[in-house]
Amino acid sequence: MRARVGDRWIGLVVAGALALASTAACSIGDEQGNDDAASGEPVAVEQQVRVPSDEAIGDGCGEASATESADLAADRTVARCAPGFPEPQPLPSQVTLRVGIEDRGEDLAPVLLADRLDELAAENLDVEIVEESDPAKLWQALGRGEIDVMVGDLDAPFFDQVSDGTGVRLVLGGALARRANDVATPQPGLWIRGDKMSASDSYHDLEGSGFAIPDGIDDAAAASMTAVLRQDDLSLNEVRIDLTGGADAAALLRDGKVTGAWLDDTAWPSVQGDHRFRLVATLPASESLGGVVLAPRLVDHDRDRAVGLAFVRAIIRTVNTYLADDYQADDEVVAALAEATGLSADELRATPPWLFDWEVRSGTTDRIQDTFVQLGSVLYEESLPQRDIADLTLYRDVVAPELAPAAQDQA
């Protein structure tokens, strides 16, 4: 039976990029050699993940299409090909895929635009988008073969599906926050009532208070939140969790019904500028908490791997063609994204554009699931190796297999 909130004590999160990415303003200030953060003043962070120059990208998928998977620098460069690449290789006959998502958020732009702008159709793929607000139901459906692809955060139920031997595999990375680490810049993350703490880093004052987190201790963002809260020996198992996200979570925070809330791209603007609230944790700086997961038949060389490659090819081409960098500056892309998400162009441009990274960092799945294991979010007690969770050969085969670095973490 899955452990419930409060059932288990969480140990210190394994040091790594997730911890660094979620460090509160006080730690950021210390690292930069100033005392602003010690007084509670947010400190801006200049380092951020970037895209390669047009000159570095060149034509097609060249050297810039593959990076070292162990690079976790906050200012690293993501992989990119030229627009229109990798070129379509249509399947001999049309194949229908069912793709599961929780909602039509902007962070899912690669798959939404691949569908809307016919990049999937160019591979002879017909896609049915299946929306379900409960991620556990989607992961279970993927494990049973009722859907073929899952796109979204790598929540605890995903890891349980891997542990259960269903054969589902992470094959692509996802969205990165533009200003991760920078708690001086309003963005998705953990927002709290600052007046509930005796000092800027006295997180233990929040013990027993309410936190609105969409999927509770099963949420992929648990690692980012934990890295901050543990600075003062507080665990997510020591707060009351309301399984609420989006605008409803923001409303709970504004109305004083919870003390903290993980607010996504559509929700945090409603608390921005309100002196009662401050951002204390963001998404990681150099790796995504989400991605694309395929059913086992789509990664199996003896079954439908060609279909999996076609899907991967379409998603990567969509990133390179429409989402390479600041896509919000392109009116046509924004218009297509507005149609795909149901948001207006103004709403999309009210928040910073995401940066999309189809690669998966070495150790990402370790860092996420270590937190889940410690919290009791998953139904097993020892973390699974990344080679059992991810198959990184699909995107390497698609972009430039002869250029891709050797995968030390991938058999």
Walking along the chain (411 residues) 10 residues at a time, the average pLDDT comes out as: 33 36 36 36 61 95 94 93 97 98 95 98 98 93 97 96 97 93 90 89 89 90 87 87 91 94 90 92 91 97 97 98 97 97 93 95 93 93 94 93 46 39
Residue 47 located in a structural domain: no
Query: Do 388 and 307 lie in a common domain?
Result: yes
The alpha helices in 323-385, defined as continuous H runs, are 331-341, 345-349, 364-375
Q: How far apart (Å, rounded) are the C-alpha atoms in residues 255 and 164?
A: 41
Closest to 366 (Cα-Cα) out of 171, 159, 161, 153 = 159
Report how far apart, in Å, the C-alpha atoms of 326 and of each of 51, 68, 280, 331 are.
10, 23, 26, 11
Q: Which amino acid is at 258?
A: V
Query: Do 171 and 219 lie in a common domain?
Result: no
pLDDT for residue 42: 42
Query: Do 250 and 228 lie in a common domain?
Result: yes
pLDDT for residue 403: 53
pLDDT for residue 178: 87
Closest to 169 (Cα-Cα) out of 311, 1, 320, 370 = 311
Global confidence as pTM: 0.86
Give residue-wise pLDDT tens across range 245-258.
889 999 999 999 99
Residue 276 located in a structural domain: yes
Helix 331-341 × helix 109-116 angle, to 10°: 100
Residue 404 located in a structural domain: no
pLDDT for residue 182: 87
Give the residue carrying structure tokens 């993940």: 49
Query: Do 89 and 195 lie in a common domain?
Result: no
334 close to 341: Cβ distance less than 8 angstroms: no
Residue at a domain's end among 233, 248, 282: 282
Residue 5 located in a structural domain: no
Query: Do 352 and 205 lie in a common domain?
Result: no
Burial class for 205, CB neighbours closer than 10 Å (0-12, 13-18, 19+) = middle
Query: Do 292 and 189 lie in a common domain?
Result: no
Residue at a domain's end among 219, 253, 282: 282
Give the residue carrying structure tokens 């190796």: 385
Residue 154 located in a structural domain: yes
Residue 72 located in a structural domain: yes
Q: How many structural domains does the chain have?
A: 2
Report how far apart, in Å, the C-alpha atoms of 156 and of each of 189, 218, 270, 289, 395 are.
18, 5, 28, 11, 24
Query: Do 337 and 309 lie in a common domain?
Result: yes
pLDDT for residue 46: 58
Query: Do 348 and 299 lie in a common domain?
Result: yes
Query: Do 219 and 349 lie in a common domain?
Result: no
Residue 39 located in a structural domain: no
Residue 187 phi, psi dihedral angles, 5° rounding = -170, 175
| Domain containing residue 295 | 54-178+287-399
Tokens found for residue 271: 């608390």
Residue 409 located in a structural domain: no
Query: Do 84 and 171 lie in a common domain?
Result: yes
Give me the CATH number covering residue 266.
Answer: 3.40.190.10
Query: Do 191 and 271 lie in a common domain?
Result: yes
Query: Do 163 and 292 lie in a common domain?
Result: yes
Cα first-last separation, the chain = 32
Residue at a domain's end among 252, 282, 312: 282
